[in-house]
């Protein structure tokens, strides 16, 4: 969905409407009218695609989550052009102005600070409104932090569920974890570095201490790290860690088996385990075997112990 520019002399680096690769200037093509959701690098600026550079340099309007961040990408590839700020705090007038441009026959490219627009950012609202108006919505795919973490985690990738950021408050966070505990696929979460230790502790408690997981930090950047282990092992590792920095994706493996169909089967498993284990240990093992929430099983285990006294 692009139009070829008229014949012209070879462009020079830094010329408006061009981008530069290894010192060679390339003239960008002007995209047809529409909303272009353009993926940008999540860290390493070399991860940008040729198509992304073409659209960023050639679109009539470039809307950015933070013009200072996008400005670094533009400088790296010799793109000189104006930018418009569009972020989560932008009001409805800002979105309306961008949509009006598309309706008038212009092309609008939207980029986020890192990754793919519309994934946990305001590009989603713009895409919904454009679609409802029958305007073209064109994805320009590229880097994605959840997918990069998934393929590096060593966890099953045939089925996965992206859950975004967990709630900040502990009670709401644990409730959300209970909601996704039995999803039959790898779970992907964004998490802030200052909350990673407490979130991992809640994951171990609610999802099961033995579930395999990976904490992927600063993906594609200089200090990229991937920590793999059980949720309990990762909880212990980050509980004693010095200040954690950077952007984080947490991947958690699916439940090891199908959740039990009824309470009777869960009770039978718990009774067998309680013959050899304390309630907390029995609940953790039953959660691993059944896929049911550890907290519920622990409450049931305590009730069973009380009945036998």
The pLDDT tens digits for 190-216 are: 999 999 999 999 999 999 888 999 999
The overall pTM is greater than 0.75: yes
- Residues 6+ away with beta carbon under 8 Å from 300: 266, 267, 270, 283
pLDDT at 277 over 90: no
CATH code of the domain occupying 2-143:
3.40.1010.10
Q: What order of strands is seen across the sheet that includes strand 61-64?
A: 84-85, 61-64, 107-111, 34-38, 137-140
In the chain, domain spans: 2-143, 146-252, 263-307
Q: Which residue has the higher pLDDT, 89 or 63?
A: 63
pLDDT at 293 over 50: yes
User: pLDDT tens digits for 25-58?
Assistant: 999 999 999 999 999 999 999 999 999 999 999 9
Confidence band for 268, pLDDT divided at 50, 70 and 90: confident
pLDDT at 260 over 50: no
What is the rounded CA–CA span in Å between residue 243 and residue 194? 8
Confidence band for 261, pLDDT divided at 50, 70 and 90: very low
Confidence band for 308, pLDDT divided at 50, 70 and 90: confident
Q: What is the pLDDT of residue 5?
A: 53
Average pLDDT, the chain: 89
* Cβ atoms of residues 214 and 255 within 8 Å: no
- pLDDT over 70 percentage in the chain: 93
Confidence band for 117, pLDDT divided at 50, 70 and 90: confident
- Residues 6+ away with beta carbon under 8 Å from 150: 157, 160, 186, 188, 251
| DSSP letter string, 86-134 | --TT--HHHHHHHHHHHHTT-EEEEE-SSB-TTSSSTHHHHHHHHHHTT
| 11-20, 29-38, 138-147, 226-235: range with lowest mean pLDDT | 11-20
* Cβ atoms of residues 52 and 116 within 8 Å: no
Q: What is the pLDDT of residue 3?
A: 54
User: What angle do the packed helices 294-307 and 279-290 form, to 10 degrees?
Assistant: 130
Q: Which residue has the higher pLDDT, 239 or 284?
A: 239
CATH fold of 146-252:
3.30.950
pLDDT at 172 over 60: yes
Phi and psi torsions of 2, nearest 5°: -135, 160
Q: Which residue has the higher pLDDT, 74 or 121?
A: 74
User: pLDDT tens digits for 221-259?
Assistant: 999 999 999 999 999 999 977 788 899 999 999 987 544
Q: What is the pLDDT of residue 203?
A: 96
Q: What is the pLDDT of residue 119?
A: 67
């Amino acid at each position: 969905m692009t139009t070829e520019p008229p014949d012209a002399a070879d462009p020079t680096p830094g010329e408006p409407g061009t981008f530069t690769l290894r010192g060679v200037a390339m003239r960008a093509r002007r995209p047809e009218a529409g909303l272009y959701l353009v993926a940008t690098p999540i860290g390493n600026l070399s991860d940008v695609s040729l198509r992304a550079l073409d659209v960023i340099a050639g679109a009539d309007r470039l809307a950015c989550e933070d013009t200072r961040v996008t400005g670094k990408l533009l400088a790296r590839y010799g793109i000189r052009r104006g930018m418009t700020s569009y972020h989560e705090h932008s009001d409805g007038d800002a979105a309306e102005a961008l949509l009006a441009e598309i309706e008038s026959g212009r092309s609008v490219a939207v980029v986020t600070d890192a990754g793919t627009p519309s994934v946990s950012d305001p590009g989603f609202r713009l895409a919904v409104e454009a679609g409802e108006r029958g305007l073209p919505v064109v994805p320009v795919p590229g880097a994605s932090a959840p997918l990069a973490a998934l393929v590096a985690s060593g966890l099953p990738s045939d089925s996965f569920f992206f859950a975004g950021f967990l709630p900040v408050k502990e009670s709401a966070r644990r409730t959300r974890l209970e909601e996704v505990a039995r999803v039959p696929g790898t779970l992907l979460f964004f998490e802030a570095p200052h909350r990673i230790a407490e979130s991992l502790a809640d994951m171990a408690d609610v999802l099961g201490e033995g579930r395999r997981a990976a904490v992927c930090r600063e993906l594609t950047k200089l200090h990229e790290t991937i920590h793999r282990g059980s949720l309990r092992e990762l909880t212990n590792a980050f509980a004693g860690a010095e200040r954690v920095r950077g952007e984080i994706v947490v991947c958690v493996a699916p439940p090891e088996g199908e959740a039990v169909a009824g309470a009777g089967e869960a009770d039978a498993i718990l009774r067998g385990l309680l013959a050899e284990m304390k309630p907390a240990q029995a609940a953790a093992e039953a959660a691993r075997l059944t896929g049911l929430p550890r907290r519920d099983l622990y409450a049931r285990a305590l009730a069973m112990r009380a009945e036998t006294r």
